[in-house]
Amino acid sequence: MRLALASAVFLVLVASTTAEPRTSYRAVKGALADGRLAFRAWTDAQGPQLLVVDPATLVTAVVPGDPDELKPRETDPDSPLGRLRNAALVRREGLQNAGVRRWTPPRTGAWLTFDLCPSTHPLDRAVLEDLESDENPLPVMFEVSGRWIETHPHDVSWIEHERDAGRLAVTWVNHTQTHAYEPGRPLDENFLLLPGTDLDAEVFGVEQDLLDRGEVPSVFFRFPGLVSSPTLVDRILALGLVPLGSSGWLAKQQKVRSGALVLTHANGNEPEGLALLETWDRDHRAESRSGEWHWLGLGDFAAGQAPPAN
């Protein structure tokens, strides 16, 4: 009994000290000498740190660095990051589905985006395991909320295990800390449009939850409920992020097409959407295995182009 109690106390102590103490977490703007762009800065036990993105590859990384030493630089509009930011800016109007909805890829395929809003249900692992047979590794974008991370540690560990085993290629997309929502309230004053919402806290909270686990946030963001305003889009862009909409929300009767951002929820709250995805995937598995169809990844965003305006 004493040994079991001591082991439990040890595990609690390890868990409580896993995350690095972090202070002064904030948005910054500037470039490193190698051209990568910094968009977050903080200080931890290792000293000043930066979260940076390569505007050509869209790959993010945590690097040591003093934000006061960053070189002033705007995003090159002709870089992949610049093209995505401009596409999001073009789609900033309206109440729903702002941001990049589709993208012209360098090969035939679509992006798998799985929203992980707060939920009492477990991760839909079986669907992901089935899809893993299509690509090795399977590129996936998880639109993750901080509350989901905090309440589903075993599911996050499973995703990390699948990633580390080479079965998933994961891009973590910011889906806000709380994903606040009030049932029955009009959309134009709900989700991030709820009065009193602290946008910085919503954005920074989930990023720090990821960093606490040793994960690296991407530059992508999805509005909860796909609800936003032009002002919110401008603020997200000013924080260095690229908002993503969707042209393939399957539960809303949208279709899987080449260049689509396919949206389903893998948090147990949308079984009909996942069933539609599985049916489509099984019907097209031969094309996946022959190379005629691909589930696309970060590199395909970098090599792609904005679609023609419609």
The answer to whether residue 9 is domain-embedded is no
Which among 72, 70, 267, 260 has a CA at the least distance from the CA of 175?
Answer: 267
Q: Which domain holds residue 34?
A: 18-69
Q: What is the DSSP string of 184-246?
A: TS-GGGSGGGSTT--HHHHHHHHHHHHHHTT----SEE--GGGB--HHHHHHHHHTT-EEB--
Integer Cα distance of 174 and 170 in angstroms: 13
**Per-residue model confidence as pLDDT tens for the chain (310 residues):** 333 433 443 343 344 335 668 999 999 999 999 999 999 999 999 999 999 999 999 999 999 999 999 999 999 999 999 999 999 999 999 999 999 999 999 999 999 999 999 999 999 999 999 999 999 999 999 999 999 999 999 999 999 999 999 999 999 999 999 999 999 999 999 999 999 999 999 999 999 999 999 999 999 999 999 999 999 999 999 999 999 999 999 999 999 999 999 999 999 999 999 999 999 999 999 999 999 999 999 999 999 999 987 5
Strand 248-249 relative to strand 261-265, pairing: parallel
Check whether residue 85 and residue 187 sit in a common domain.
Answer: yes
b/e 199-237 (16+ beta carbons within 10 angstroms → b): eeebbbbbbbbbbeeebbbbbbbbbbbbbbbeebbebbb
Is position 215 within any domain?
A: yes
> What pTM does this model have?
0.93
If asked whether residues 27 and 65 sit together in one domain, one would say yes
Looking at the domain assignment, is residue 260 inside a domain?
A: yes
Q: At what angle do helices 230-238 and 80-90 cross, to 10 degrees?
A: 160
Q: Tell me, yes or no, whether 201 lies in a domain.
A: yes
Q: Are residues 39 and 182 in the same domain?
A: no
Query: Do 263 and 154 share a domain, yes or no?
Result: yes
Same structural domain, 174 and 65 = no
In angstroms, the CA 152 to CA 119 distance is 9
Record the tokens describing residue 302, joined without a space: 């970098």
The answer to whether residues 239 and 203 touch, using CB atoms and an 8 Å cutoff, is yes
pLDDT of residue 19: 64
| DSSP classification of residue 174 | E
Q: State the distance between the two ends of the chain, measured CA to CA, in whole angstroms.
A: 69
Task: Specify if 308 maps to a domain.
Answer: no
* 202 inside domain: yes
- Counting the structural domains of the chain, the total is 2
